[in-house]
Amino acid sequence: MLEIRNLSAAYGESGAVKQVSFSVEPGQIVGIVGESGSGKSTLLKCIMGLPDGRGRILGGDILLKGRSLLAMGEAELQKLRGKELAMVFQNPELSLDPLWTIEKTFYESIRVHSPVTKAQARQQGIGLLKALDLADPEKVLASYPFELSGGMCQRAAIAIAVANGPGLLLADEPTSALDVTVQKQVIDTMMSLRDRSGTAILIVSHNMGVIARMADMVGVMKDGELVEWGRKEQVLYEPSHPYTKALIRSVPRMDGRLPGEASDD
């Protein structure tokens, strides 16, 4: 589905992503974890072709279903965004237009890629919101982003992102601005989406617990480099890099023991 080959990117003279390589298979959830400033979000922006003003890609390649995204012009990328490749941002209240209802955003997102009436878009929106376990989807559609709770707004944003059936969903810290109980709802929503539609997900987070809950494969980034990569069980229980070990030791536990320590029971 997605292949990153020796990707490097920078802001000014500062390298943000350094020779990163990995792949995402169809229907797979890949988690990239690391502290703030490690290059996780920059990686997603490179994939979407949405770098900040000072950001630039220095080398490498990004292939979606075997096609180089870096070789495409902006017009061609626009056709892919939302249709084959979609993104969920950290703060949905900021990424969604505050002057549009959720229903209007649904309609505008779908009609960019296919002819659809407002009534058809509404029915599709109701169906997606129901599938994501949102009660009273009609009320959600009629609401503005600021009228919804954080969890409801994030799930509505996920529904909008997948409205055109993309094969790959990018998620940039999608739970960090949410309460712990709401985080679980959003995580379950994305995992259910993968199970129901086979959508591959690339999620970046500084929260090792979120990655441990969701991911099939895990990559660990530090200072722009991918310092560890492997199956979730391997990375979490048999980490090889000192930074990965430090991240795992930092995960709080209610019983006071470190992750991996045996129970007395």
pLDDT in tens, 66-112: 999 999 988 888 888 888 999 888 777 777 888 999 999 999 999 88
Residue 57 DSSP one-character state: E
What's the whole-model pTM score? 0.86
Residue 263 DSSP one-character state: P
Residue 154's nearest CA partner among 123, 122, 187 is 187
Q: How confident is the model at residue 1 (pLDDT cuts 50, 70, 90)?
A: very high
DSSP secondary structure string, 150-216? HHHHHHHHHHHHTTT--SEEEEESTTTTS-HHHHHHHHHHHHHHHHHH--EEEEEES-HHHHHHH-S
Q: How confident is the model at residue 252 (pLDDT cuts 50, 70, 90)?
A: low
What does the pLDDT read at residue 253? 59
- 226 pLDDT more than 90: yes
Cα 31 to Cα 171: distance, rounded to the nearest angstrom:
9
- 264 pLDDT more than 70: no
pLDDT: is 62 or 34 the higher one? 62
The answer to whether 228 and 240 are in contact (CB under 8 A) is yes
